[in-house]
Amino acid sequence: MTTRSEAFHLRPDGEKAFGYAQAVRRGDTLYVSGTLAVDEGFAPVHAGDMGAQIGAVYAAIGRTLAAHGGTLADVVRETAYVTDMDAFIAANGARMAAYAGWLPAATVVEVKRLAFPDCMVEIEVTAIL
């Protein structure tokens, strides 16, 4: 028996313009694409504020998870790409608050730049629903 993959779009116009789905569900596993701190029109928000961007990213990831009946407590794997590791470490409280005690397996990598120069963090997760 083959399990079909289902694509999900949180911000359909922008995601389709950039050529990706916000998430893909295959069985009980939800793969959430790298998520940036952007508004509904894909304009970056909270430029220069790592903590606020982290909060915006987890809010968007939370909306994606909720659309599939999940929460951040269902996340088992996370990869974060940051443009300033020191700023990320200093703002890690925002990440810890988002998970509220649950912590997935995680990797954080510093990169030169993300899709939008004002974005400082991009996070992708895998959740088991």
Domain boundaries, the chain: 5-128
Query: How many angstroms from the chain centroid is the CA of residue 2?
Result: 28
Q: Are 27 and 2 in contact (CB under 8 A)?
A: no
The pLDDT assigned to 4 comes to 84
The pLDDT assigned to 19 comes to 92
The whole-angstrom separation of Cα 95 and Cα 105 is: 13
Backbone dihedral angles phi then psi of residue 110, each to the nearest 5 degrees: -85, 135
Residues in the chain where the model's pLDDT stays below 50: none
pTM > 0.85: yes or no: yes
The pLDDT assigned to 2 comes to 58
* Residues in a beta bridge with 82: 110, 121
Task: Return the CATH fold of 5-128.
Answer: 60s Ribosomal Protein L30; Chain: A; (3.30.1330)
